[in-house]
Amino acid sequence: MVDAAKQSASEKPYLSITNIVKKFGDTAAVDGVTLDIRRKEIFALLGSSGCGKSTLLRMLAGMERPTSGQIILDGQDITRLAPYERPINMMFQSYALFPHMSVADNIAFGLKQDKMPKGEIDARVAEMLDLVQMRKYANRKPYQLSGGQQQRVALARSLAKRPKLLLLDEPLGALDKKLRQQTQLELVNTLEKVGVTCIMVTHDQEEAMTMATRIGIMSEGQLLQVGTPAEIYDYPNCRFTAEFIGDTNLFTGPVVVDEPDRVEIEAAELGGRIWIDHGITGPKGMQVWASIRPEDVRVDRDPVAAGPNAAKGAVTEIAYFGSYSVYHVKLGSGKVLKAMVPVNRWHEANLEPPTWGDQVYVSWRADMPVVLTR
Amino acid sequence: MNIQRLFKRLKPGRGAVISIPYFWLLLFFLVPFFIVLKISFAEQDLAIPPFTSLMNLEEGGLLHITLNLGNFDFILSDDFYAKTYLSSLQAALFTTLMCLLLGYPIAYAIARTDPARRNVLLMLVMLPFWTSFLLRVYAWMGLLNENGLINSFLLAIGLVDEPLPLFHNNFSLYLVMVYAYLPFMILPLFSHLVKMDGRLLEAASDLGAGPIKAFFTITLPLSRNGIIAGSMMVFIPAVGEFVIPELVGGPDTLMIGKVLWNEFFDNNNWPMAAAVATVMVLLLIVPIAFLHRFETRQLEGKGNE
């Protein structure tokens, strides 16, 4: 990946995944992933179910053998090591707490495998219990804990051995929405306090955006894009990423004008041209996509000057979200455009907000669309 | 539709459903046991049935209750019975241990195979039940006999010069006992092992436990209830086993089931047979009750806080 190469130029990667492939029968669950992770990074693998992110995580943990490729952690080739030989610990989606052991025994389990002296084990367990604020539950059994408490015990257990790499499999997937949002920041704080390098797998883009320093978007076994949350949101490199992260309006058409200072795309669905204020490198006539985020679309009740980046349509749907509303505007071509409008947009202009069936005019600035070639 | 009302109407029905197994136990376990207990306090008599009644209403309205403790006294004083009980318990214990050692790997393997093949393997475990138990014991007799299939074969290929002593000794006794009771160990063990969450083993491995360590720290403790259930299902009937020691056991095999049979059929001493049976039930109930209490306490959890 171009991005990963650029990132690693400044610092030596801590974890290098090179061209890893995992085939189940004839189908490749992970199809040639190359990725570098820096020390103390919180990296999120984001994708819908079946995209191969969990298989990639399980290969890092050692629970699946890669068909080909290499994994190097802190200078050591761990590709063929068994799970119990790796300096890597994982927090399971279902937590996988041992039901017959107390909270303290669960946390001590990994330390006992290392034959750590008992005094040191007790000290480390106490430290971990404090870290996740579960000290007074040390003697409870897992089934006597709530979901959030179990999650914290699972985290403490996976951190107890001070792993070189921590893997989180849908870390908050088993919690309800309210608790999940609260726990996201708590979890990030804990991870940063410990200073552990961490790879998490999630299908929840909000979770990835909130927690991760960098995100890798996966689809059909391939890593499509790697970058910080802002990079991925503002500069998606393909349609999949643009649609997967946040919401977007996609228009397709041939490039009709390609000058250094502007590109014009003939978008049939818009019924006009999309004008972008920078050039692209590609042949004229090439089929491209323009991605316009709903929050970049302006909605007006009065006609705007005819020209590029504008169209008129009728409101078919209004979703109210408190501070903003999302309008679905049906264009002449039948294409529905989504526009996110702040609630005070109409108050400030001293206008009645448009309602169902109203004719409105949509437009956006020439610096808003992102051109996608795939 | 008022669900609450529906529930209320269901409630008496629910009670009836729960009472059925209790009624069953009362009718077919508790009542017969008290009849046996009653007979054990009687005296042998030349009558039909061959024992005296405990209560006699004599002239003048005097109710005469006679409790004969002689049978129990005899059991306690003659060390023949103590030896027999002990050797029965020992045989049952050995059978249980062998069944556990053989049955655990089998149950584990079946639980770990893919579901499609699992049912076939379970069928194979249960297949012997399709043939009469007695027939299967006789089949073993045909195999182990001095002129049986195994010895004939070994003699024919010249591996041995004279028949091996495979029959009417402790070897044949334990072999057939283990053979007969093995499915009763495998099935409860399987049902516990198959429910186990495979991710727990992955977690153990992830935390640094090799396969053997993970087995002893995770799989084995979590299948403890299966081990207890399977052991009970083998141990309890094995203690009172009569057919197998009678047919394939050695002449000096002491089993309480055999003693019971002798008292009942050869000596026609029903009260003595009843007393022998009563002591056996007590010997089994005390440890089971103890184990049950231990189990319940475990289930309730002992977490501080």
State residue B8's pLDDT score: 63
Task: Say which CATH number the domain at B181 has.
Answer: 1.10.3720.10
CA–CA dist A218, A30 (Å, integer): 9
Ranges of CATH 2.40.50.140 domains, chain A:
247-372
Average pLDDT of span B180-209: 92
CA proximity to B217, closest of A99, A142, A152: A99
Residues A283-324 pLDDT 10s? 677 788 888 888 888 888 888 777 788 888 888 888 888 888
Region at B249 (left for phi over 0; alpha for psi -120 to 50; beta for the rest):
beta
Residues 6+ apart with CB under 8 A from B167: B141, B144, B145, B146, B148, B248
Q: To the nearest whole angstrom, how far is the Cα of A139 from the nearest Cα of chain B?
A: 5
Q: To the nearest whole angstrom, how far is the Cα of B215 from the nearest Cα of chain A?
A: 13
Full residue range of the structural domain in which residue B280 is found: 17-300
- Residue B103 confidence (pLDDT) above 90: yes
Of B197, B205, B303, the CB nearest to A83: B205
Are A140 and B303 a contacting pair at CB < 8 A?
A: yes
Are A140 and B207 a contacting pair at CB < 8 A?
A: no
Residues of A in contact with B210 (CB under 8 A): 82, 84
Q: To the nearest whole angstrom, how far is the Cα of B11 from the nearest Cα of chain A?
A: 30
Ranges of CATH 3.40.50.300 domains, chain A:
2-243
Q: Is residue B27 part of a domain?
A: yes
CA–CA dist B59, B77 (Å, integer): 37
Question: What interface predicted TM-score (ipTM) does this complex get?
Answer: 0.79
On average, the pLDDT of chain B sits at 87
Domain topology for A247-372: OB fold (Dihydrolipoamide Acetyltransferase, E2P) (2.40.50)
State residue B11's pLDDT score: 65
Would you place residue A1 in the very low, low, confident or very high pLDDT band (cuts 50, 70, 90)? very low
Which top CATH class is A2-243?
alpha beta
Q: To the nearest whole angstrom, how far is the Cα of B123 from the nearest Cα of chain A?
A: 30
DSSP output for B16-66: HHHHHHHHHHIIIIIHHHHHHHHHHTS-B-SSSSSB--SEEEETTTEEEE-
Are B202 and A83 a contacting pair at CB < 8 A?
A: yes
- Considering only alpha carbons, which residue of chain A is nearest residue B298? A100
Would you place residue B207 in the very low, low, confident or very high pLDDT band (cuts 50, 70, 90)? very high
Q: Is residue B125 part of a domain?
A: yes
Residues 6+ apart with CB under 8 A from A1: A34, A35, A223, A225, A226
Q: Is residue B153 part of a domain?
A: yes
State residue B14's pLDDT score: 74
Would you place residue B128 in the very low, low, confident or very high pLDDT band (cuts 50, 70, 90)? confident
Residues of A in contact with B215 (CB under 8 A): none
Q: To the nearest whole angstrom, how far is the Cα of A163 from the nearest Cα of chain B?
A: 10
Residues of B in contact with A139 (CB under 8 A): 303-305
State residue B298's pLDDT score: 65
Neighbours of A306 (CB within 10 A): 10
Average pLDDT of span B107-122: 92
Q: Is residue B86 part of a domain?
A: yes
- Residue A2 confidence (pLDDT) above 50: no
CA–CA dist B275, B295 (Å, integer): 30
Residues B9-42 pLDDT 10s? 666 677 778 888 889 988 998 899 999 999 999 8
Burial of A126 (0-12, 13-18, 19+ CB in 10 A): middle
Q: Is residue B7 part of a domain?
A: no
Residues of A in contact with B216 (CB under 8 A): none
Q: Is residue B247 part of a domain?
A: yes
Minimum mean pLDDT range among A114-128, B48-62, B234-248, B275-289:
B48-62
State residue B6's pLDDT score: 61
Of B206, B208, B303, the CB nearest to A61: B206
State residue B135's pLDDT score: 92
- Residue B3 confidence (pLDDT) above 80: no
Are B203 and A102 a contacting pair at CB < 8 A?
A: no
State residue A316's pLDDT score: 87
Q: How many domains does chain B have?
A: 1
Average pLDDT of span B74-91: 90
Q: Is residue B3 part of a domain?
A: no
CA distances from B29 to A85, A340, B15, B229, B259 (A): 56, 75, 21, 20, 22
Q: Is residue B174 part of a domain?
A: yes
Output the six-digit token pair for B275. 């007393």
CA distances from A170 to A61, A88, A90, A311 (A): 15, 17, 11, 42
* pTM of the predicted protein model: 0.78
State residue B303's pLDDT score: 37
For B92-108, b where at least 16 C-beta lie within 10 A, e where not — what string?
bebbbebbbeebbebbb
